[in-house]
Amino acid sequence: MCASKAGSEEMMANGERGFSIDDNFFVLYVDDQLLYAASQQNIGIDHRADEARPVSGLAAHLTAVLRAYALAWNASAHGAPLAPLQRRFEIIARTNPGATAVSFKGRALTYGELDEQADELALYLQRDGLLPGSFCMLRLEPSLAQVRVMLAVLKAGAACLQCDPALPRQRMAAVLAMFRPAVLFVRDGAESDSGAPRTIRCHEEAALLPYGWPDEVPVDAATPAHVFVSLSDRGCLCISVRTHQALGAQLEKGGSGRSPTATDPASFWRPLSAGASLTIVSRP
């Protein structure tokens, strides 16, 4: 089952696949295509419970859906094999390391500095047991730390998982149970959910980590790079997955250096993939 976002509203209103549209329903978009719709209870998750019990439900469904998506993509003529989304940035970091990559509140990092810091964090994550294909949840406001973490997560072979800050606590617990992220990144001083996985607290200054390079992890059309979870007007969870393939195609169109947003990961990667400077604007 595959439909565009624009064409999915009627299906959701009528109850896709016989499910009633309520606050226990979720829909899964991959690269703006509606690929899956189900009840959380049907895969063993009930966010109404005090604690959403950890299950492999959505992880298994997501893997199967993305594998089918990859087979369909690879069967058509889409050009050369995929390079990781971060490859464009890494090439610039090697050829022009002194150029400014990102600036925030009067502070800046060059491409060389950002690449080195992200490599060190990615290597730390891999040595700490982060597996390829894992999800890392980011609960970070726009900052130098957020940019560093997003880049490091991809270098480590994982995907960035971000949620709308407006998600109620119980829905956030359901997301944790559905994705079972390996790591939760929060700003220093922020509270951590009691049911969260391992938590890493981030400072604006990079942590002092051993210098080195992470192992490279191959990607294909099904490899997620970014996931954003929000709540629809009808009260169901909307899960939007962006793959390396789709975001890479977006980067070919170019773009400006506007402040990155969780709902548009391409706004983060466009300037850093073109040798431009990403300027992060402080929230009011």
Taking the CA atoms of residue 118, residue 147, residue 270 and residue 220 in that order, the dihedral angle to the nearest 10 degrees is 50
Q: Reply yes or no on whether the pLDDT at 62 is more than 70.
A: no
CA atoms of 134 and 185, how far apart (whole Å): 14
CA atoms of 257 and 150, how far apart (whole Å): 16
The band of 64, judged by pLDDT with boundaries at 50, 70 and 90, is low
CA atoms of 239 and 30, how far apart (whole Å): 8
135-139 and 159-163 strand pairing? parallel
What's the pLDDT at 29? 83
E strand segments, the chain = 3-4, 25-30, 33-39, 100-104, 107-110, 135-139, 159-163, 183-187, 198-202, 224-231, 237-243, 278-279
* Residue 136: strand, helix, or coil: strand
Q: Pick the closest to residue 148 from 281, 274, 272 (CA basis).
A: 272
Amino acid making up residue 101: A
More confident site: 216 or 3: 216
What's the pLDDT at 264? 83
Contacts of 151 (CB under 8 A, 6+ apart): 86, 89, 114, 115, 118, 272
CA atoms of 205 and 186, how far apart (whole Å): 14
The band of 4, judged by pLDDT with boundaries at 50, 70 and 90, is very low
* Residue 242: strand, helix, or coil: strand
- Looking at CATH, the fold of the domain delimited by 3-279 is given as Rossmann fold (3.40.50)
The band of 267, judged by pLDDT with boundaries at 50, 70 and 90, is confident
**Residues counted in the chain:** 284
Contact indicator for 280, 260 with CB cutoff of 8 Å: yes
Tokens read off for 239? 């899960």
The mean per-residue pLDDT over the stretch 24-50 comes to: 60
CA atoms of 112 and 120, how far apart (whole Å): 12
More confident site: 172 or 50: 172
DSSP lists the bridge partners of residue 239 as 28, 229
The mean per-residue pLDDT over the stretch 161-177 comes to: 86
The string of pLDDT tens digits covering residues 186-211 is 988 777 665 567 899 998 888 778 78
What's the pLDDT at 182? 92
CA atoms of 193 and 169, how far apart (whole Å): 9
DSSP lists the bridge partners of residue 37 as 27
What's the pLDDT at 88? 92
Contact indicator for 239, 227 with CB cutoff of 8 Å: yes
183-187 and 198-202 strand pairing? parallel
Roughly what angle, to the nearest 10 degrees, separates helices 57-75 and 169-179?
A: 60
The string of pLDDT tens digits covering residues 215-225 is 999 887 778 99
What's the pLDDT at 165? 87
CA atoms of 212 and 77, how far apart (whole Å): 37
